[in-house]
Amino acid sequence: MKKTTRYNLLIALTYSVVLIGGMFVGYKFLKDQGFQVKKQAGYLADNTEKVDEIIHIINKNYVDEVNADSLHHLPIDSLLHQLDPHSVYLPPAKANEFAEALGGNFEGIGIEYYILNDTLLVTNVIKDGPAFLSGIRQGDKILKIDTTFVSGRALPREKMIGKIKGKKGTAVKLSILHPGNPIPVLFTVNRGRVKVSSIDAAYMLNAETGYVRISNFGAETDQDFVESVRVLKGKGMKKLVLDLRDNGGGYLTAATGLANQILAENRLIVYTQGKHEPRTDYFTTGGGAFEQGKLAILINENSASASEILAGAVQDLDRGIIIGRRSFGKGLVQEQFPFVDGSALNLTIARYYTPSGRSIQKSYKKGYNAYQNEIEDRFNDGELTSKNVSVKDSVKKGKLFLGGGIQPDVYVKMDTSGFNRFYAKLIAKKVLFDFVYDVLANRYTSSFIEQNLATFNINDADYKDLLKYIQTKGVVIEPKLLQAARPLIYNDIKVLLCKYHLGDAGYYKALNLSDAMVKQALTSLQ
């Protein structure tokens, strides 16, 4: 198993097994990301003509200078491989999926669920969403979706998701089994657009330091942030830890809107520019909710796009301290060019730049010299303790991603303690998730977890049951590796229980109790 932090692993795994049915992506989101849709290109008689049209589009719109003569007579995919990793050709089927996203088709009933023993277990119901108003509650099991039995069928996750999602106003029939009731109940739920805050958690770390976790930049992120700051200030907040780890981005307008809340008036936040796109500057307007007060922003290798725009502005303008690891390096503005056969071209037309002129986008140069320069830079930055890094391990498919992203002011290494092959098996087989939802969820109440969050841990009886459960899942217990991973296993179970009973806020409260970056932020803000 690839080494990573406990934090990143739990985030990724938790959200890989739940669905927020009310989440949606619409045209506005993709447009704000830089995606714009041109009118359809004219009729293309064959693939050769399409290649010629693509080269013409590249010549007129691509972010950099391109030698068009070198692109002729190449297959479409090979042609685009000469550009950047985010300029791609979409065949009709893929382009259609993209068009559905542009149409705002991601709406649902407002639930999160987990596939437990081939049954859909409802782990969270968004308050006031369609499912909640219909009477569906946490702990319910979904046996049937419309005419399809899903319980015991081992259906692929994507098929289950596809049967629940749908356009606003359409209905889905669900056969639900309530806890303690042997007779299923039939619910008819009208799908709708469910409001889900992009603020995952907002609470006080100590008497004067607040914590706000943002997982993506949505249409109302800046307003949600203002409300969170208002509440936290009422509790005495004078300093703020803003957590943007694993935040893959979102609306550009949301990033600039949030920057308005923490930066002084008339400050440059970011600018975009390309060979065929003139420079466009984005400035603050002032009057923000947290223009004063010490600020720390947490980032990691999965913080991208809008996250990097905000972190870069804070760093360049010396507004706060950036803590963590170098961010992803996604700083491209793209435009979509559709063709009449249903296919489309997503082409990069500009780059994002921080106020000081740094390009956020990581490089995609090739070759050994580029690799040597990257190792030298990361050694000097403190990311590597040795320059003796294997080229074989670092360069994949002849291409190395270099530079770019936001380098933190304070670097925090990955914590890999407890990770071993035994723990990897537990994660791969989802044993800890299954144990929490199948066994522990009903042993503890939400009020008990909340009252004892800081000190809670599973007891000896729980641990013995866990060992038995591991064996029923076909995992051979290796005593030495189990002992080494035991603290990590205990913590994982705790945060998963908190996620189930207390939602995202409880999840992050539990996770942050032992988080190295949060501890570093508190130290840096002293």
Just list the catalytic residues.
Answer: 305, 316, 330
| DSSP per residue, 6-20 | HHHHHHHHHHHS---
Give the residue carrying structure tokens 């760093």. Answer: 315
For residue 457, how many other CB atoms are within 10 A of its CB?
Answer: 12
Q: How far apart are the first and last CA of the chain?
A: 37
Question: E strands of 412-498, at which residues?
Answer: none
Can you tell me the distance from the alpha carbon of 518 to that of 412, in angstroms, rounded to the nearest whole number?
10
Q: Do 19 and 161 contact (CB within 8 A), yes or no? A: yes
Integer CA distances (angstroms), 205 to 6, 12, 239, 513, in order: 20, 24, 10, 9
Backbone angles phi, psi at 184, to 5 degrees: -65, 150
* Cβ contacts of 507 within 8 Å, gap of 6 or more: 14, 200, 201, 495, 498, 499
Q: Is 277 exposed, middle or buried (0-12, 13-18, 19+ CB in 10 A)?
A: middle
Question: CA-CA distance, 277 to 275, in Å (whole number)?
Answer: 6
CA gap 358, 268 in Å, rounded: 13
Coil, helix or strand at residue 345 = strand
- For CA atoms 318, 323, 329, 333, the dihedral sign is negative
**Cα gap 203→363, rounded to integer Å:** 38
The C-alpha atoms of residue 339 and residue 92 are separated, in whole angstroms, by 9
Rounded Cα gap, residues 393 and 419, in angstroms? 20
Angstrom distance (rounded) from CA 277 to CA 279:
7
**Taking a C-beta distance cutoff of 8 angstroms, is the pair 174, 116 a contact?**
no
